[in-house]
Structure 1
Amino acid sequence: MHPSFSLLPGGLLAIAMTAAHADVTVNFIDAEHYTDAAYSYAYANDKDRAVVQRDITQHLKRLADRSLPPDETLTVDIRDIDLAGWFEPWHARGHDVRILRDITWPRIKLAYVLKRGDQVLASGEERLADMNYLMGPNIYPSSDRLRYEKPMLDGWFERVVRRREGAGSQ
């Protein structure tokens, strides 16, 4: 948070805290070839994928706003998305209903670079997957369309931040 100052009537100085937004760039590389990146329908078009991309970008920005100092930048290249569940067309309404099973866990492949100025603090490529996505507690409501993908992203983000903090203290 950065303070901003203003003068109130009567000469009183007011200090307002304004939220600093972390510098995060999320790129979706070859999105048309993603395994499964739409909330509805097995075969996504650009519009369907754009909604998922927007939601993932917003989530990553929220994570960064809470944790990254304003002088750091994070670039994330999403290379593949496979949302939890699968469409089973042999079921009634199966073409647009996502069926969750223990073998249809969520997966996201990404690459990232975390920088402070020109200095690279952390970088890498990761394949996120949660094979136990139906087993444990989940803090996200059942109405959240990325309910199973967000905990994976949360865990990855925390590992990246911890790795950076651990490397800086040695």
Structure 2
Amino acid sequence: MSRFSAYAVAMLATLGSALAAEPQPGALTITFIHPETYQDASKSYGYGSDPQVLDAIRQHLQKLAARELPAGYSLSIEILDIDLAGYVDWRYQGNVRVIRDATWPRMTLRYALRHGDETIASKQERINNMNFNWGVNLYGYSDPLRYEKAMLDDWFERAITRHLHS
């Protein structure tokens, strides 16, 4: 066996044991209930939803759960409605989303946090962020869902993380 092969085997063994030692995150299921009826989850004018918007929201919730949800816990989220910040003005070409203070992001969702067979928290909520345009937003201006992601961060901390640490 060459030096390179031995080195590669040693690195893979070390990496494999490090990955095995990390705790596995809890399980997360996300269901979008009748997304065709959502108030505004589309990048273009009109009601309904775009798969790209739903996928970005799903990925963000998965990232939050992977970071915060310990092994042995499960979280199921049903998203019932989405109303993105701002509105798409039909008068402009290119689907320009106009942001005003009165057009804050909103979502209606139902969730259940479980530890094994025990339900820790379960609720249907209408979350919003009326102050979305004020203060610090950790997501850059190039992120089209920066206001919704910040709102979901706040909700996850308030509704989920506090139950995990109490």
The within-5 A match list for 1:21-170 is: 21-39=25-43, 41-43=44-46, 49-90=50-91, 92-93=92-93, 96-159=95-158, 160-166=160-166
Cα deviation per residue 1:99-146 (whole Å; 9 max; x = unaligned)? 000111100110000111111011111111111111111000111121
Classify the secondary structure of the residue corresponding to 1:104: coil
Tell me: CA distance 1:157–1:114, structure 2 relative to 1, closer, same or farther (3 Å). Answer: same
What TM-score, normalized to structure 2?
0.83
> Identity rate of aligned residues, in percent?
41
> Any idea what SS the aligned residue of 2:165 has?
helix
C-alpha distance in 1 between matches for 2:129 and 2:56: 19
For this pair of structures, how many residues does the alignment match?
Answer: 152
* Over 4 Å off, 4+ runs: none
**Partners of 1:89 and 1:57 in 2: CA distance:** 27
SS at match of 1:126: strand
TM-score, length-scaled by structure 1: 0.81
Aligned to 2:4: none
Preserved CA contact (<8 Å) 1:22 1:61: no
Greater fraction strand: 1
Q: Pick the structure with more helix per residue.
A: 2
Give 5+ residue unaligned stretches, structure 1. Answer: 1-7
